[in-house]
Amino acid sequence: MTVSDQLFERAKQLIPGGVNSPVRAFRSVGGAPFFVKAAHGAKLTTADGRELIDFVCTWGPAILGHNHPKIRAAVAEALDRGTSFGIPNPYEVEMAELIVRFVPSIQKVRMCNSGTEATMSAIRLARGFTRRDKIVKFAGCYHGHSDSLLIKAGSGALTHGNPDSAGVPASFARETIVVAYNDRAALEAAFAANPGQIAGVIVEPFCGNCGFIMPDAGYLQFLREITAKHGTVLIFDEVMTGFRIARGGVQEREQITPDLTCLGKIIGGGLPVGAFGGRAEIMDQLAPLGPVYQAGTLSGNPLAMAAGIAGLKLLEELNPYAQLDRLGRQLKDAVLAAARAKGIPVQVPQCGSMFSIFFSATPVRDFATALQGDAKVFNRFFHACLDRGVYLAPSAYEAGFLSTAHEGADIDRACEIFTESIRKL
């Protein structure tokens, strides 16, 4: 028995499914998860001492590679001063200044502890601001696991064939309207059927939670226009795309100004953080200024702020987005060429450091077409890659992530492994 297998046996006795977040359990791809004892740069070291080239990057945060020396030094320096104060600290101000400077639409920002908290709070704020109850989300988009948003959700919920969770009261679910991504008519119909009732539309502007899916040309502009017309708050959930697709997120790249933006993942530099921000007029509805309550014992935690600040400053200094896109294309081209040679249909949507591999002849533009990807073929591909030393997300419906640390030998080796794994399918 491997060390990982032994740990998993012990974990299963005490932790439901042996994991603290469901996708990690490998239920979708089969087999048992490996445990990791260390991570540096582009590589994970398993509890059994294997080295794996990692395209999960802790589900997005590690855009600079794992355990970047500058982030580690910043955390160590903060640690000298204490781990939590429960009263404002200087890092919070610096973090807010960085976020407001980088993300075009954010005038004011509130820190919290996870992406789930960010989206949950943004929804409450949209409801409090508009005095309306209904929200619109898109099938396959995942916005964390709060009740209103865990409906037709992607990511782990989808991987486990259960995009609608048990335990969400039907009365809550009725306040959430789900429409197809990239479908203009469906959203127009939702507005027509619920006049004056829709508080907010929440969207992953580039979808990363049922695989990676890009919007059709003009679609995000359409979302901006239709929400403005109806006095509805447009919420970009950039927990995954923020500081990844561009320094200022999808909104900077596509030049769309949402009313509220949710952040997480990269802004914590690998520590647990979330944030939401936007127009000052809306943000000032939050307590203590306004009637919308939101709070957190560890919000603005000095260690997490120090890690995040160091990461954001490095992103500014390095401006790695052209480099990341080059790496992404290299990987995409390798997969396309191998699949063509083998005669296997494949779709590889990619932008910058995000990509997905769908074994499908149909271009993927929404939840329904994502599901047409052949998960059985993906699972064989996943294990073939893992056997050869490349770790992809353990599900056909998750995005892949690159970091600046993948540059060089690691990306070349990964492309060889993708090619070999496809040849063996």
Ligand X SMILES: *Cc1c(COP(=O)(O)O)cnc(C)c1O
The one-letter amino acid code at 398 reads: E
Report the interhelical angle of 184-193 vs 219-229 (nearest 10°). 10
The interface region with ligand X, picked from 75-83, 137-145, 168-176, 189-197 by CB under 6 A, is 137-145
Closer residue to ligand X, CB minimum distance, 181 or 418:
181
CB of 204 to ligand X, least distance (A): 5
Per the annotation, the verdict on 219 as an active-site residue is no
User: Which x/- pattern over 214-253 shows residues binding ligand X (rule: CB under 6 A)?
Assistant: -----------------------x-xx-------------
CB of 420 to ligand X, least distance (A): 30
Q: By CB under 6 A, is residue 264 in contact with ligand X?
A: yes
- Judge whether 228 and 385 are in contact, CB under 8 Å: no
At 323, which helix (H) or strand (E)? helix 321-342
Closer residue to ligand X, CB minimum distance, 61 or 411:
61
- Site for ligand X (CB under 6 A): which residue of 119, 176, 369, 404? 119
Q: By CB under 6 A, is residue 182 in contact with ligand X?
A: no
- Judge whether 249 and 242 are in contact, CB under 8 Å: yes
Per the annotation, the verdict on 237 as an active-site residue is yes
Catalytic pick from 91, 108, 142, 391? 142
Q: By CB under 6 A, is residue 209 in contact with ligand X?
A: yes
The one-letter amino acid code at 297 reads: T
Closer residue to ligand X, CB minimum distance, 240 or 415:
240
Distance CA 395, CA 216 (A): 25
- Site for ligand X (CB under 6 A): which residue of 116, 232, 299, 353? 116
Closer residue to ligand X, CB minimum distance, 215 or 264:
264
Using DSSP, how many helices (H) and how many strands (E) does the chain show?
15, 14
Catalytic pick from 237, 259, 366, 410? 237
SS3 content of the chain, % helix, strand, coil (to 5): 45, 15, 40
For residues 212-245, one letter each, b for 16 or more C-beta atoms within 10 angstroms of the residue's C-beta and e for the rest, the string is bbbbeeebbebbbebbeebebbbbbbbbbbbbbb
The binding site for ligand X (CB under 6 A) comprises 114-116, 119, 142-144, 204, 208-209, 237, 239-240, 264, 274
